[in-house]
Copies of this chain bind each other. A is one copy, B any other.
């Protein structure tokens, strides 16, 4: 067996002093103040063994990583009915997100572009009794950690500046692909993006995606077939318009967020999370991408 602690230590050492760390997201004050030097890694094997290095216990805003939790909850509740309201194709296109929605008559390309995630939020608002409470409880249960919570300042800031999401939600509404009213759905959505977790919590919460749907506490939340499908979507759509690049360089299903977090997994084997707040021009953590590429190169682990 490989010495995983030494591998992540080496990666951490190699990258922790890298000068060019990308740019910290600055569209809201809460994100812009984060120190770009932060860099943590947490790895958990399917056997339960864990390995940590760096700022792996500092909570950060998981942002778009939350879309995986929301999709999982909605898939659990609705099953394949979900796919009537969105597609599962990669968008590949940095240019014109809203135009894609226009050209395709209000059917989002996949559940991880913003318009798709807003439709998922709409489904959860319709289906959950107490949407915000129920979603955070789902995340806590997956991670087996009841301290996980929303950062309300972040949620409020997202709301105050999220004009692009208001545009997308209204466009969905104009195509009758939003059941609830725009403000309610986006209030839920902005909270979802404002969940704070650290690398260890994220890794634990994603354990079920490497384990056919059964979480750390041995509870089966989704079927093996559903998990396989979510993993496929992560691989093809999990990194904005850099999904192909991530599959090409890293070769694992995963999801990133503009808070600088990335989580990736190898089915039957392991889950790994990284956090480094600086982003590359395509919105993914610059150091995190390099760390994961180094990890799969050194370990020769990959789905391909």
Contacts and interface: CB of A to CB of B under 8 A. Distances in A.
Interface stretch (A38-46, A120-128, A236-244, A271-279): A236-244
Contact of A90 (B229, B243, B267): B243
Interface residues of A, number: 56
Interface string A230-251: 0111011100011111011101
A81 to B, nearest CB: 15
Interface stretch (A29-37, A93-101, A143-151): A93-101
B163 A87 contact: no
Name A's interface SS: helix
This chain: copies in complex: 4
A170 B163 contact: yes
A12 interface: no
Contact of A163 (B110, B173, B229): B173
Nearest to A233: B248
A19 interface: no
B92 A103 contact: no
Contacts of A242: 89
B89 A92 contact: yes
A41 to B, nearest CB: 22
A166 interface: yes
A247 B251 CA distance: 14
Contacts of A233: 244, 247-248
A133 interface: no
B98 A98 contact: yes
Nearest to A175: B163
A86 B113 CA distance: 24
13 contacts: A89-B242, A92-B93, A96-B103, A97-B102, A99-B99, A110-B244, A163-B171, A167-B171, A225-B297, A228-B251, A232-B248, A236-B244, A253-B304
